[in-house]
Every structure is written in C-alpha cells, then in structure tokens.
Amino acid sequence: METTLSNYCPHWIISIVTAQSGIDFLSGSSTLTSIAKKYSRGLSEQYDPVNYQYLEGIAEEKLRTLSEIEAAENAVIILNAYVYRRYKFHPDNKPRKITGLFGSEFSGTKVPLSEQREVCKLFKAFIFSIRSNIYNYAPSGWTIIEEPEGQWLGELVAEPSSIFDSF
C-alpha cells in the first residue's frame, strides 16, 4: 500500500495570489477569470490542484469588500499592503522566514484549503487594522516580484495572464 503525503497550498500563498489577482484585475485588461486560471495553473504545478473558481471567488469577494468601503483609487494600494503583510509576516506578527534551516515556507501543507469565507475574513480584519493604523502600508515601490526569496511565486505574479488562460 502506497501512502501519499498531502501537498496542499499554504493558506498565506492563497491570500497573496487572490489579493494579487485583484491588483492584476484593477491594473490590467484581463478578466478575473483568466487571471484566476493563471494562478490556478501556477499553484497546481507546485501543490495539489487549486480550482480557479475558488481563487476567483476569493478575489471577487476582496474586490467587493474594497468597493463597500469605497476604497476607489486606494484599492490597489490596500491590496499590495495585504500582499506585503502576508508575505513578510505570520498572522501573529512574527516575521516570516521564507527559507530556513529545516525547510521552506513554500512547502506544501497537510491542511486542506480554507473555505472562501474564512480567507475573506482575514482580509476584512486586515482592512480594519490598516484603517486603524495598526498595520502599515507596503513600502513605496515594493512588489513581490522583486523579493529575492520569492522564488516561483514572484515569477508567477510577473507572468502576464493571457487570453489562453480563459480557456
């Protein structure tokens, strides 16, 4: 009997790619579906398959939340701050060490993906915190693409979504 280890995508990466999907959608000319398919394809190369509808639903909910608070032109800034926060810090505010002596934060986990609602709750809590000046925005000009330890994730973000991702 062969045992297979779970290789689920870490939750912090789901948080990042869904926020980045919102940035890509607001900054570009691609549909949210084609953007979600790009990230689904990229994540599924590293981990157990991640459904694009799951990513698209979370990204759409994040954009809806930003619309409700009337973020307008600040939406991309808020989303980038969230990407920065999730990339640099654990939820308990401890700095995230991407590569360590005994492994990598990019390693797959045994914990299945959270429900969309749970992922969106974290984003709403972040918005409350940033509006209350508990968290800071990302440094000016910061992007995950330029993070030296970003590995394949930075490359995936830098990759433009194409019309072929829509199929």
Distance of CA 84 to the CA centre of its chain: 10
Contact 81, 137 (CB under 8 A): yes
- Whole-prediction pTM value? 0.91
Residues facing residue 99 across a β-bridge? 104
What are the pLDDT digits (tens) for 17-43?
A: 999 999 999 998 799 999 999 999 999
* Residue listed under structure tokens 């508990």: 134
Report, as an integer, the average pLDDT of 63-76.
Answer: 95
Position 99 confidence tier, pLDDT thresholds 50, 70, 90: confident
What are the pLDDT digits (tens) for 115-138?
A: 988 999 999 999 999 999 888 899
Contact 147, 154 (CB under 8 A): yes
